[in-house]
Amino acid sequence: MSSSSARRVSVIVPTRDRPDLLREALASIRALEGSDLTFEILVGDNGSQVETRAVAEAFGARYLHTERAGAGAARNVALRAATAPYLAFLDDDDLWLPAHVRKHVALLDSHPDLSAVVGQVISTDSNRIPIGEPWPAVLPDDGALFLTMIAGYFPQIGATVTRASMRDDNGEFDESLIGDQDWDWHLRMAAHHRIGFVADPCVLFRQRPPGSYDALQLKRVGYTRRVFLRHAVPAWRLWPSPRAFIRAYGTCLGHYYSYFVNAAFERAQRGERAMALQAAAGAFRVGPARSIWDALTETPLRAALLAASRGETAHHAPGSPVAAPAPYRDGATGSPNLRDQGRR
């Protein structure tokens, strides 16, 4: 393909005081360029480190600063400046993989009815060692993803490419949401537009160490509830039954509950009595009814509570493994619903 017919994509990169990670992220973007594909990189920064601008400019990116806090504000300041026909995204601590973008753009070119395309993600630990298979394995092939998303599938924004028209049709990211503003943005888009899927790993999605951010998780629960109710209640006619609605709500909060149950059990195993009880209290705040049930049955939460109250070391409850992250409800895969764990 000649340079005159190369596809041009604006890449929105929010960042805050992580220049070393930003450098790696921008390098992964530039590595995908070729004669058929060029990038306009827009770095939205709401941090204070002078080095961030230098890193952005070293990769030929346009640097834009905002005083407003939050990933949504950093994305928005870059989004407003985008000029290419397509929009893509990458958080500053994640990396693009070689399979990203080209198939997304090709699918948008060949299917005018699609407004966006999502791809697969590989979740990693903080050292970028993979901790699971690429997800999602499958998605509905009719482009109608709204119910899949509202029932617990949280697309990772780094694997999304949209037409530039989505900036006007879908609006900006909600800056009042400290958490889940990217899920809210995807849900708005899925409610009114068709979205395609590329079954190739596109992003290395970096996670924080498990059990290392209790306060952040508790803070984010409220935003997840808010986004779910914002979109699920107006769409009540789409739900097959009240039970399906309740089950979807529970699935969306399942990640938080599993986080605190796992943290409680692991801390009880290490003899960290006070910290185990603190994590158990977090599980109760996320899911009071479920916590009471689990505390009365043979579960890891009960094992953690008993060990912490007795000053003993916890062991696995018979026939009851430590809770796993809740699966997203795509009806097919049961792949882990790993949330955006390290964002502002």
- Residue 260 and residue 126 share a domain: no
Task: Tell me the β-bridge partners of 86.
Answer: 9, 163
- Residue 221 and residue 78 share a domain: no
Domain count, the chain: 2
- Residue 170 and residue 137 share a domain: yes
Residue at a domain's end among 174, 206, 238: 206
Distance CA 293, CA 274 (A): 22
> Does residue 161 belong to any structural domain of this protein?
yes
Which domain range does residue 32 map to?
Answer: 3-206
pLDDT in tens, 252-297: 999 899 999 999 999 998 889 999 999 999 999 999 999 999 999 9
Distance CA 291, CA 295 (A): 6
> Does residue 332 belong to any structural domain of this protein?
no
- Residue 218 and residue 201 share a domain: no
In this prediction, residues 300-326 reach a mean pLDDT of: 68
- Residue 268 and residue 181 share a domain: no
Instruction: Express as a percent the part of the chain with pLDDT over 90.
Output: 70
pLDDT in tens, 67-120: 999 999 999 999 999 999 999 999 999 999 999 999 999 999 999 999 999 999
- Residue 289 and residue 259 share a domain: yes
- Residue 181 and residue 53 share a domain: yes
- Residue 126 and residue 241 share a domain: no
- Residue 229 and residue 108 share a domain: no
The amino acid sitting at 184 is: D
Domain CATH code at residue 133: 3.90.550.10
- Residue 171 and residue 30 share a domain: yes
Task: Tell me the β-bridge partners of 64.
Answer: 44
- Residue 114 and residue 198 share a domain: yes
Task: Tell me the β-bridge partners of 124.
Answer: 130, 206
